[in-house]
Chain A
Amino acid sequence: MGKYEVTKSIDVRGEVCPVPDVEAKRAVKKMKPGEILEVWIDYPMSKERIPEGMKKMGHEVLEIEEVGNSEWKIYIKVK
């Protein structure tokens, strides 16, 4: 199930700042264009910072989905 054909998924819930951002960046660097990364986070600042950082790197942010209490999944399409 799931909305997107996710190629890779990382769970960075509970990690300290800025580990979610750094892990997400490291993940997309290893991925091929067209692949989709799912980042599962619970840290509010990264929810705002990761999408902008990814856009700046040229990737497409498909959705920031709220999946629970202070938990989100960010879907990123690698360009």
Chain B
Amino acid sequence: MALTGIIFGIFFGIVLQRGRICFNSAFRDVMLFKDNYLMKFAALVIALQTLTFLLFAQFGWITLNPKPLNWVGNIIGGYIFGLGMVLAGGCASGVTYRSGEGMTTAWFAAMFYGLTAYATKAGAFKPWLDWISKFNVKVEYSTPIYASNSGPTLPSVLHLNPWIVGILFSALLLWYTFGTKTTERHSKMGMKTAAIILAILAPIAWMSSAASGRNYGFGITGGWISLFKGFLAGASVNWEGWLIVGIIIGAMISAKISGEFKLRMPRNPFTYLQVMIGGILMGLGAVTAGGCNIGHFFTGVPQMAIGSILASIFFILGNWSMAWLLYGRD
């Protein structure tokens, strides 16, 4: 069953490549270039997923599983991850799909990201994670929409029906998407198409993942950890690990077809050092925060998980800090 992850990964990878979907760019471009195109995509896909997740959960096809709130981990890890993605030249999904496009810097970023994530989860840095995990906050749910013992959400904190909060939350994001001015961009796949495809694909992928014994939707960090664990310790690769393999294959196929596959190498070899440091910060940050821009921002925020919203705010703050340091001062 874990192998089905590869199929969802291929679709995900194609959309990521076609839509040039990178959350590092989404966060950074708003601040650096006053360009909100990808941020609007992010708002739209979260708005739509909030509704599709609730719908699938209402029908009993999936059980939402918000990540625990962890003030310490979400803030510190989120900020470190945010710094790292700018150095690495891409977020977790960005470096993964660009690996398939032939960007050699993304290979190094992804490898060091996966390796450090694994070390934080189960290796040299595990004592740090054990300490961070003490601050995990979970709540008991009586509604069948959420897993009984999972992280707090906007509806649980406000003591309101998830649908009421979800519709308001989604409406607010839709207002931002359509009610304010959007930066022009002529992309191979428009942001509306990409957002609609992903908002439908994501809950279906969740069903497939849950059937393999992993009750969560799209994620990247756990997938890289699983691949390294399989490679280094002989463990069997989980759904999320196969998802990564699929994303790389999907992005590669998509790039090949559109004449965008190329082994890209920077002239200044120092860039490799920069992206490796970025990858290390991303791996440490993501595991400390309990997820990356996909697990938290893309999949967690639509569940209205407080921990995911908090981590995402610090992804953005970390991203802005490093983008300003590297590119913003002229």
Contact = CB atoms under 8 A, between A and B. Distances in A.
A42 interface: yes
Interface in B217-262: 255, 259-262
A24 B35 CA distance: 16
A53 B262 contact: no
Contact of A44 (B20, B35, B94): B20
Interface in B89-120: 89-90, 94, 101, 103, 105
Contact of A48 (B20, B28, B101, B105): B20
B262 A45 contact: no
Interface string A1-33: 000000000010111111101100010010000
B194 to A, nearest CB: 13
Interface stretch (B128-136, B157-165, B167-175, B181-189): B181-189
Contact of A16 (B28, B37, B89, B330): B89
B293 to A, nearest CB: 14
A17 B22 contact: yes
A49 B185 CA distance: 7
Interface string B172-202: 0000000000011111000000000000000
Interface size class of A (residues with CB under 8 A): 20 to 34
Contact of A45 (B20, B105, B184, B266): B20
Interface residues of B, number: 37
B214 interface: no
A64 B321 CA distance: 32
A43 B33 contact: no
B262 A16 contact: no
Q: Say what secondary structure dominates the interface of chain B.
A: loop
A54 to B, nearest CB: 11
B330 A26 contact: yes
B215 interface: no
Given A45-B22, A69-B262, A52 B184 contact: yes
Contact of A43 (B28, B32, B264): B264
Given A22-B327, A44-B20, A45-B20, A14 B267 contact: yes
A35 interface: no
Given A52-B183, A70-B259, A14 B24 contact: no
B105 to A, nearest CB: 5
A52 B89 CA distance: 21
A49 B34 CA distance: 12
A71 interface: yes
Interface of B: 20, 22, 24-25, 28-29, 32-35, 37, 88-90, 94, 101, 103, 105, 183-187, 255, 259-262, 264-267, 271, 274-275, 327, 330
Given A16-B90, A44-B20, 12 more contacts: A11-B267, A13-B264, A13-B267, A16-B89, A16-B105, A17-B90, A18-B29, A19-B89, A42-B262, A44-B260, A48-B20, A52-B185
Nearest 7 pairs between A and B by C-beta?
A: A16-B89, A70-B262, A14-B266, A45-B20, A14-B264, A22-B327, A14-B265
